[in-house]
Amino acid sequence: MKTTSIKKIWREGKDLIDSDILISGWVRTSRTSKTFGFIELNDGTFFKNIQIVFDENLNNFNELAKISIGSSLIINGKLVESPGDKQPFEIHATNIEIAGLCEPDFPLQKKRHGNEYLRTIAHLRPRTNLFSAVFRVRSLIAYAIHKFFNESGFVYVHTPIITSSDAEGAGEMFRVSTLDPEKLPRTDKGEVDYSKDFFGKSTNLTVSGQLAVENFCAALRNVYTFGPTFRAEKSYTQTHASEFWMVEPEMAFSDLNDDMDLAEDLMKYIISYLLENAPEEMAFFNQWVDKTLMDRLTNLRDSKFERITYTEAIEHLEKADKKFEFKPEWGKDLQTEHERYLTEEVYSKPIFVTDYPKDIKAFYMRMNDDNKTVAAMDLLVPGVGEIIGGSQREERYDLLLKRIEDMGLEKEEYWWYLDLRRFGTNKHCGFGLGFERTVMYMTGVENIRDVIPFPRTPKNAEF
């Protein structure tokens, strides 16, 4: 007999009433009286459980009466309408095979645990309501992103994980090497001789796929990369991880407005997809994690994102009643407190901030006509802060070269990136969307470590 998923039972329950079915899964909770009992079983296919009713006619009733939470069962039975008001149907078991008992030191209990504690048992936490919902939604968001780009004619490009260039000077990188740190080869000058390393040069884990994907943008037009990214900064915050995933689209013959349109469409698409395909999970988040979640998401889906320039943002901040720890000043980067004030208090919705001073942005961003600002945009959202960073790229060879030199970068490292500006250059743009920050925003979960299956942060690579 074929196993029926609990998802199928919940979705098509009425059609299955009175039929014999086979299910399997893990005990979430059980309640037993003298001659009968109830088991709530979760099989991983659906957020909700199914209630199993068993009685003393089963030959292993005594064992089942004290079944421990977490045990795995294989159940034959009949699906019937339930007299209880908490569920429309239940299964009257005709046979229950105990596939694996759960030993008494199983750490998950029939009560709420703190997220901090659950992080220490990351191998078991996906069995909880919250984490099963988070990781199912994480998967759905990833799928929605691919679906969105695919339907929009974008080509998915796998950019390299191991790179030899410091892509944007984006901070500390993890070194990739097969050299023995105990006996490093040295040059005559006493420096480490990377020509003896595996790739014959110094290599690192990628901090961004953007420079690589731009090359494909000049060939396949609209492209995106979506993969793991690594940053070795010692960031102890709720929104930073050492290993995270990033979505980076790139569009040829497009400007910053096209870029923002794309970002806005993508965010809205993801929300619509989740509301349609994960209603149980979203309702759960709304009830237990963030009571404003559904309102926030539906508002975002239905509203136009605000677009303001950096200069306007500074003006807003300067005339604000609020006392900031750091005084807003044109030419300095916006502090987190500034960003939060703008997106949470002034607009109460996502906002794009555009046209930042050139000195606080990366070398590849396109110089504006004022010669002071670049065509950059950050998308700020309430609760999470910066979720997207993007720009129109500098397509003019001379200006790009000058920026590389002015910022003290090695132009030899970027020869192939500069080539793009020599061989049929075009106005193009793109952005990086923090995948985990998106999951946080869509679920209301406040810590990035709780939306990554096995999070990596400084001093933590357990599991």
CB of 344 to RNA, least distance (A): 12
Q: Which 46-65 positions form the footprint of RNA (CB under 7 A)? A: 51, 53
Sheet containing strand 175-176, edge to edge, reads 162-163, 203-205, 175-176
DSSP class per residue in 271-339: HHHHHHH-HHHHHHHHHHT-TTHHHHHHHHHHSPPEEEEHHHHHHHHHT-SSPPSS---TTSPPPHHHH
Q: Which 119-178 positions form the footprint of RNA (CB under 7 A)? A: 119, 170-171
Q: Are strands 351-357 and 373-381 parallel, antiparallel or unpaired?
A: antiparallel
Q: How many residues bind RNA (CB under 7 A)?
A: 72
Q: Are 342 and 354 in contact (CB under 8 A)?
A: no
- Is residue 394 a contact residue for RNA (CB under 7 A)? no
Distance CA 340, CA 349 (A): 11
Best CA proximity match to 391, nearest among 237, 208, 156: 208
The HSE-up count of residue 151 (CA atoms within 13 Å, CB side) is: 10
CB of 112 to RNA, least distance (A): 6
Q: Are 232 and 192 in contact (CB under 8 A)?
A: no
Q: Which of 249, 385, 430, 444 binds RNA (CB under 7 A)?
A: 385
Distance CA 79, CA 18 (A): 5
CB of 15 to RNA, least distance (A): 20
CB of 246 to RNA, least distance (A): 5
Query: Which residue's CB is nearer to RNA, number 252 or number 381?
Result: 381
- Is residue 320 a contact residue for RNA (CB under 7 A)? no
CB of 209 to RNA, least distance (A): 11
CB of 193 to RNA, least distance (A): 26
Q: Which 263-282 positions form the footprint of RNA (CB under 7 A)? A: none
Query: Which residue's CB is nearer to RNA, number 203 or number 430?
Result: 430
Instruction: Look at the block and give the residue holding tokens 């007999």.
Output: 1
Number of Cβ within a 10 Å radius of residue 142: 17
Which range of residues in 177-185, 284-292, 330-338, 403-411 is near RNA by CB under 7 A? Answer: 330-338
CB of 455 to RNA, least distance (A): 8
- Is residue 190 a contact residue for RNA (CB under 7 A)? no
Q: Which 1-40 positions form the footprint of RNA (CB under 7 A)? A: 29, 31-36, 38, 40
Query: Which residue's CB is nearer to RNA, number 40 or number 197?
Result: 40
- Is residue 430 a contact residue for RNA (CB under 7 A)? no
Q: Which 210-249 positions form the footprint of RNA (CB under 7 A)? A: 231, 233-242, 244, 246
CB of 431 to RNA, least distance (A): 8
Q: Are strands 50-55 and 89-100 parallel, antiparallel or unpaired?
A: parallel
Q: Which of 129, 402, 447, 456 binds RNA (CB under 7 A)?
A: 447
CB of 388 to RNA, least distance (A): 5
Which range of residues in 197-205, 267-275, 311-319, 441-449 is near RNA by CB under 7 A? Answer: 441-449
Q: Which of 16, 69, 142, 184 binds RNA (CB under 7 A)?
A: 69
Q: Which 78-117 positions form the footprint of RNA (CB under 7 A)? A: 82-87, 90, 92, 104, 107, 109-114, 116-117
Which range of residues in 155-163, 220-228, 349-357, 382-390 is near RNA by CB under 7 A? Answer: 382-390
Distance CA 462, CA 133 (A): 22
Q: How far is CA 93 from CA 1, 68, 287, 348, 397, in A?
A: 15, 18, 32, 52, 73
Give the rounded distance of the alpha carbon of 364 from its chain centre. 25
Query: Which residue's CB is nearer to RNA, number 197 or number 339?
Result: 339
Distance CA 106, CA 351 (A): 45
Q: Which of 336, 368, 425, 426 binds RNA (CB under 7 A)?
A: 336
Q: Are 337 and 326 in contact (CB under 8 A)?
A: yes
Which range of residues in 196-204, 279-287, 401-409, 447-455 is near RNA by CB under 7 A? Answer: 447-455
Q: How far is CA 292 from CA 282, 299, 343, in A?
A: 11, 11, 16
